[in-house]
Amino acid sequence: MRRRADRTSPARTAGDDTPKRVLSVPYRMYTGRTEKPCCLCGRPETAHRIEIPPRALQQLKHAGPIAWRDIEGEVTLYFCQDDWETVRELVLETGMSPLSRCNAGRASFVLREDFEALLNANRSEPDQRPLERELLEDAADVLERYESDDPHVEERDLVEARIVTWAMEDLGPPQVPADD
C-alpha cells in the first residue's frame, strides 16, 4: 500500500518543461501534543493548573528519564476538578506537597531543540536561575499577601505558591550551569 505522503506528481509551470516533484501532505498530520491531561489520573478534562520551576520536575513520579536541564520555561501541571480538591486538601489542610504523586509524563513543558545531535557541537545548559527566582518571588508575594489577609489572593495561587516554595526548599540552592 502506498502512503499518501510518498506520492509525487510531476508539475510544470508555464514555459518550463522540467518536471518538478510535488509532495502531498497527509490530511491528519501529527503536529504536537494538544491534550493537557490531569497529572494525577490522566483525565483529559482539566479545571486547574499550576506552574513549577523545571528543577522541581525531579520530584514528580517517573521523572527520571526526563532531562529537566533542557526544559525551557516553566513546567505546567494540570488537574481535573476531583483531583484538584485532593491537591487543595493536601496543600492547605495537611501541609503536604502533591508533586510525588503527579506523573511527569503528563506534565506540559518545552524541551530545547537538540542541535548537539544534529551539528555535533555542544551548547551550554540554559540558566534556569532567573525563572526560579521569579517563581519564588511570586510565591513569596502571594504568601505575604495571604498572611496579611488580602481578600484578593485566590486559592489556586496559594496552592501554587506553597508547592513552589516547598519544592525549592527541598531541592536546595540551584547549581550554576556549566560554561563551555
CA distance 16 to 149: 76
Burial 113-132 (b: 16+ CB within 10 A, else e): eeeeeeeeeeeebbebeebb
Tell me how far apart the alpha carbons of residues 170 and 44 are, in angstroms, rounded to a whole number. 30
159 within 8 A of 88, measured Cβ to Cβ: yes
Nine-digit cell string for 34: 494538544
Question: From CA 65, how far away is CA 150, in angstroms rounded?
Answer: 41
- What is the number of H-type helices and E-type strands within the chain? 4, 5
How many whole angstroms separate alpha carbon 74 and alpha carbon 132? 9
pLDDT of residue 72: 86
Place of cell 545531535: 117
pTM greater than 0.85: no
| Residue (of 87, 97, 22) closest to 58 by Cα position | 97
Centre a 10 Å sphere on the Cβ of residue 106 and count the other Cβ atoms it contains.
Answer: 21
- Once rounded to an integer, what is the mean pLDDT over residues 16-43? 60
Question: Per-residue pLDDT averaged across 9-23, rounded?
Answer: 47
Residue 17 has pLDDT above 90, yes or no: no
pLDDT band at 86 (very low <50, low <70, confident <90, very high): very high
**Number of Cβ atoms within 10 Å of the Cβ of 172:** 8
Q: Give the pLDDT score at 34.
A: 60
Residue 68: name the closest of 77, 57, 52 by CA: 57
Q: Is 80 a residue whose pLDDT tops 90?
A: yes
